[in-house]
Amino acid sequence: MRDIPIIARGQLIMPGDHAVEFKGRGGASFRQADPHKHIHDLVLGNTARLRDLHDTPMAEIVDLLAELGKRLKLEDNPLLQESFELALQAGGLAEPILRGVYDALPQMFDPAMMLAMVDKTIGLDYIDGWVPGDGRFDNVSIRAVGTRQLHITAGNVPVVAAMTVARAGLTKSDILIKSPSNDPLTANAIARTLIGLAPDHPVTKHIAVAYWKGGDEFMDSQIVRTSRIDKITAWGGMSSVRHIQKFLQPGIDLTALNPKYSMSMVGREGLESDAALDEVAVGLATLAGFYNQTACANTRIVYVESDTDEDSIERIAELGRRMVAAYAKLPPLLSVPFTERNRELEAELDAVRDEDDFYHVEGDTLNGGFVVSKFNDRVEFYDKLNNRVVNFVPVDSLLDVIKWCDDTTQTVGLYPESRRAELRDAFALAGVQRLVSLAGGDPMTVYANSHHMPPGSPHDGIEPMRRSVRWVVDMQPVAAH
């Protein structure tokens, strides 16, 4: 049984006589001080207490976070090693994939990247001071001001914890992180590392981390008040977002990073030659397989521009076979076979396997597989596709795919590149948030092309850091300034 402290602005509150035992996912369990008894330790309350962070130059904050990043190497950090073991037990990522995620944590605190992120999304001048207008509006000054934030984080990929801690400092904000049951310790370990580095720094003094069960109405009703919270960022399932919405009131802004679904589209050109089939197969295997299909950006449905006659369906099935074969060649840091079957999904696959007039099914939930729809629609259980299983859907035109797109559609893979210009505006209007390439023929190339974005790029169609601050206008009299 692990004992996990509550992090309360530079202080550790260890489990004591009133400790509560929590059960994470995957059989993981831990003890923590009862969060019900420490609400006042978790929330900031008086906004005047943010003044110390408000007055801290961003250059100093970035220097601190950069030094924190240097201490987040898994091999050197016992706190991260403990959180890694618990995330391995409670989360859904295999050891080599999770290790790759943890190995990338220091890169998230690169100083040049952090400065660029602030400048792109907020503006360094605006976060550090009042910026006057131009010309005849020079009597008007604008400043970005930090806020009191609650972050209900997701645990499917532990980078969310590091991202949240970094964004707290970069927006000069006070944050309370509600840790997820499938990654209860990563944010805690990062915050404790920061305490070890600089216990009295304003950034450290404005980070609180605790776990409480989702749906705990007492906790949420006590925390989500205008006297305690200005902004909420809610990751994860729709149930958690709907629950927190019950407590919203005017003056509290919710950024809902709802569950997203991702897909890929393959034009007729992708089926015209064996070389094209191989290239598309590697692209699909990479986008569907990375992180073992646990991320919102993973492809789950593939729309293929194709007829539905027997020969055309067989050509799509051949693409599926090559995709499954490509799974086996993915680097372990991206994807590995599963060790346990997904019984719920396999039951769905078995059910449609018997409907061979409508579906063609191959593979399983250990090594990956696919369902080819023999008509122009996705399977009814599309939202359960996991374990590197995808649904291929033939369409007359890639533009037909728009009817399945909305603001829950995050990442769309595309092949060939020659079709991009004709499609991107239509899909942008439909709600798609990111269009990436299936081309490249090499898993690491495809992965890099789908993740290599400049600092401060939008996330799920919004700019979270810009939305996390309060924009204040100071208007002096025109003749008196």
441-476 per-position pLDDT tens digit: 999 999 999 998 999 999 889 999 999 999 999 999
The closest alpha carbon to 455, from 109, 129, 171, belongs to: 109
Q: In the predicted model, what is the mean pLDDT of the chain?
A: 94
Q: Which domains does the chain have, with CATH numbers?
A: 2-258+462-474 (3.40.605.10), 261-450 (3.40.309.10)
pTM of the model: 0.92
DSSP-assigned letters across all residues of 190-233: HHHHHHHH-TTSTTGGGEEEE---TT-HHHHHHHSSTTT-SEEE
| pLDDT band at 23; cut points 50, 70, 90 | confident
> Average pLDDT of 109-129?
97
Token pair 């605006």 in the structure block, residue: 126
> Average pLDDT of 425-436?
96
Longest dimension (CA), the chain: 81
Question: For residue 26, what pLDDT is reported?
Answer: 66
pLDDT > 90? residue 238? no
* Dihedral sign from CA coordinates of 224, 238, 217, 36: negative
298-326 per-position pLDDT tens digit: 999 999 999 999 999 999 999 999 999 99
**120 vs 457: CA distance, rounded Å:** 8
Question: For residue 373, what pLDDT is reported?
Answer: 98
| pLDDT band at 288; cut points 50, 70, 90 | very high
Q: How far is CA 283 from CA 327, 352, 391, 428, 448, in A?
A: 10, 26, 15, 22, 11
pLDDT > 70? residue 237? no
> Average pLDDT of 19-44?
88
Q: What is the dihedral of CA 287, 290, 291, 292, to 10 degrees?
A: 90
Token pair 């569907």 in the structure block, residue: 288
Name the residue type at position 258. Answer: N
**282 vs 225: CA distance, rounded Å:** 49
> Average pLDDT of 111-125?
97
pLDDT > 70? residue 413? yes
